[in-house]
A and B are shown apart, each in its own frame.
Chain A
């Protein structure tokens, strides 16, 4: 199986500063790491992902880093805006398995 730990559970940052969310996983066979954003009352939406053959990926203001040796991956949101306030979930999928294991989520609050 797989276990995914996500920290912090709540993150407050000033508008226009950066926000970082960290996740760790246990199974070295995990090879796909998506990040989801969930607005209140809505389903989670994929915002960025990274596969195990990469160490870094950026889509506009979103950066994900993957350290396979440490079994750690992280999401960095640069120049945060109020619209970035939401729940964020990391997840890991183990190669050859159908399972996507989610972290417990981080509530990101962007303060003006």
Chain B
């Protein structure tokens, strides 16, 4: 079946430093990858949508300068949180799918704590 491995599961970084999270698709081709953030007590906000061989589309309030994303092939994507501060803490989730209008398969999430 389709699986998405996301790592690390949890990470702590010092305020002002950066951290990178990765997602690996297994059993299908991750043509599209969506990155979401769930801040404490909030719902899931879409950060950006990445499609292989296309430009990455960032949502309002999220920028490439802050959340650079790499999606070099059909099985891997990574996102970095640059210069992390307290407001960046939360659960980051990647979701991948092969074709338009198919279901997303989500990774297990990366919980970021900023101290």
Contact = CB atoms under 8 A, between A and B. Distances in A.
Contacts of B71: none
Interface string B36-50: 100000111010010
B106 A98 contact: no
B106 A43 contact: yes
B34 A98 contact: yes
A96 B43 contact: no
Given A34-B103, A99-B34, 15 more contacts: A42-B108, A43-B91, A43-B93, A43-B108, A43-B109, A44-B44, A44-B106, A45-B106, A89-B43, A98-B49, A98-B100, A100-B104, A102-B36, A102-B44, A105-B43
Given A41-B111, A104-B42, A99 B101 contact: no
Contacts of B42: 104
Contacts of A46: 103, 106
Interface in B3-59: 6, 32, 34, 36, 42-44, 46, 49, 51
B107 interface: yes
A22 to B, nearest CB: 15
Measured as residues with beta carbon below 8 angstroms from the partner, the interface class of chain A is: 20 to 34
A15 to B, nearest CB: 26
The 4 closest A-B pairs by CB, nearest first: A43-B109, A102-B44, A104-B43, A102-B43
B90 interface: no
A82 to B, nearest CB: 23
Interface string B88-114: 000101010000110110111101000
Interface string A84-112: 00000100010110111111110000000
Interface string A20-46: 000000000001101000000111111
